[in-house]
Copies of this chain bind each other. A is one copy, B any other.
Amino acid sequence: MTIGSAATSSPVPADPVVASATRASDPGSPPEPLRWLADTGAEWTTDQQILGRSRLDRSGWEPDGRPAAVVFPRTVTQVQAVLRGASATRTPLVPRGAGTALTGASTAGAGTVVIDLSRMNRIVEIRAADGIAIAEPGVVTADLDRAAAEHGLSYAPDPASVEISTIGGNIATNAGGLRCAKYGVTRDSVLGLDVVLADGTLINTGRATLKSVTGYDLTGLFVGSEGTLGVVVGATLRLRTLPTPTATIAAAYPDIATAAAASVALTGAHVQPVLAELLDEATLSALADHGLRQSGGALLIVQLDGGPVETSRALEVLRRGATSVRSDGDPAELLAARRQALPAIERLGRPLIEDIAVPRSRLAAAVRSIADIAQRHDVPICTLAHAGDGNLHPIIVAGSHGSPIPSAAHRAADDIFALALSLGGTVTGEHGVGVLKRAWLARELGEEQHHLQRRIKAVFDPLGILNPGKAI
């Protein structure tokens, strides 16, 4: 076990990620092939327990072996030194935030070094009058939103993982969430980025203005690139004045197809929900002990901020075919129950969380076909959907935790991806490609575009050291 910062010899603080490691008064030297780590000024470790944790994310994907080391930079200069050292030694680097990726994007196998950015976690500045925040990548997303709230502002993207995932990870996957139906995904809130390139060069893309069109939009290119083009070390983020929600409606339906059709009908009625969350019968059953007791085959939770006219239009639409429609529930309780859905499903077994998006009008067709897929492969699938933007999360319950994933589950997942493409959709709405969907990337993009994307990758990362084997 070696933990150290050869440059500073500073003791490692009691950070959760190294909680199991003892503090090293004498950090020692890294093993020979990693000698360059000692010159980065950053803390690093080869502790086997930490390596074991840092090789995994929340996807269930198991890489071959363990990373050789984890390095914990605290400054941009240290990140630059890590990238220079990795380039000089051709060492594959895996950038990591909170490790909440659902696709294997944060997994790290043999021969890699993990660059863990969770200690770069300062909210540098909130400029309320400008409507912007400047944050380091390790800031937990919900913390930023809470800091913005002190100024009457919001950070709009709110993935279900908002309390545990980081801004850097959200940028890597272009995370969405619940209220992005109205207020946009992560890309819509990122104005500029500080990025360290593979050779250690620091660039600042975008700017602190709400508009700009000077040069190509590299900011947008980095968002969603899953750590394969550079390491994000700072972000200039848009904060918004979000209206206070005026209504939160829970509408129950006999089946999920009717519920899906109701959510689609909202658009035609000139209603723009802040969020529209759809839960199927299997999910409701899993949630029964978590504050959301709901009879019926499907539940649609709709939140609005548009005033009484929009609310009455929405109620009229939602009542069609519903078994019950309530707008007097506690909004916080309803949404908390929705956020409990994944933990509740996890109690049923090992979840494979899929993430397809289809044109909104195909939502009902998609949920019907997913039910067919579950039946065909005889695997339980709980379906949640951000119905407002046609983004479905079919969650395959793939046997018990720790046991091998049954092949039927993999076949069901493949059928779900094929379904998304056949409906004119995408194999990932907000989780990214990672390892798990690489085979589907080329099918969705087409050979010509895939080739172009690989050439862009080569411009940024000619040595192929940035998160190799992921995404592209």
Binding site for B on A (CB under 8 A): 127-132, 151-153, 173-174, 176, 180-181, 184-185, 187-188, 197, 201-205, 207-218, 220-221, 223-225, 229, 240-243, 264, 267-268, 270-272, 306-307, 310, 357-361, 386, 389-391, 424-433, 437, 440-441, 444-446, 448-450, 452-453, 455-457, 459-460, 471-472
Contact = CB atoms under 8 A, between A and B. Distances in A.
Contacts of A217: 174, 187, 220-221, 223-224
Given A221-B220, A221-B221, A267-B129, A446 B204 contact: yes
A207 B358 CA distance: 9
A108 B195 CA distance: 36
A386 B452 CA distance: 37
A52 B218 CA distance: 36
A458 to B, nearest CB: 8
Which 4 A-B residue pairings sit nearest by Cβ, starting from the closest?
A220-B220, A129-B361, A210-B389, A212-B426
Interface of A is mostly: loop
A260 to B, nearest CB: 11
Contact of A429 (B212, B240, B264, B358): B212
B449 A459 contact: no
A430 to B, nearest CB: 6
Given A209-B357, A217-B221, A224-B217, A203 B128 contact: no
Residue of A188, A425, A450, A452 with most chain B CB atoms under a 10 A cut-off: A452
A201 B215 CA distance: 24
A462 B330 CA distance: 59
20 contacts: A205-B449, A209-B357, A209-B359, A209-B425, A210-B357, A210-B389, A211-B357, A211-B386, A213-B224, A214-B441, A214-B444, A214-B445, A215-B444, A217-B221, A220-B220, A241-B267, A241-B271, A243-B272, A243-B306, A456-B456
Given A214-B427, A214-B441, 9 more contacts: A132-B359, A204-B449, A213-B431, A214-B426, A214-B428, A216-B225, A218-B449, A307-B307, A459-B459
A240 B272 contact: yes
Given A241-B271, A267-B129, A448-B201, A185 B211 contact: yes
A451 to B, nearest CB: 9
A131 B360 contact: yes
Contact of A213 (B132, B174, B218): B174
A363 to B, nearest CB: 9
A424 B456 contact: no
Nearest to A230: B452
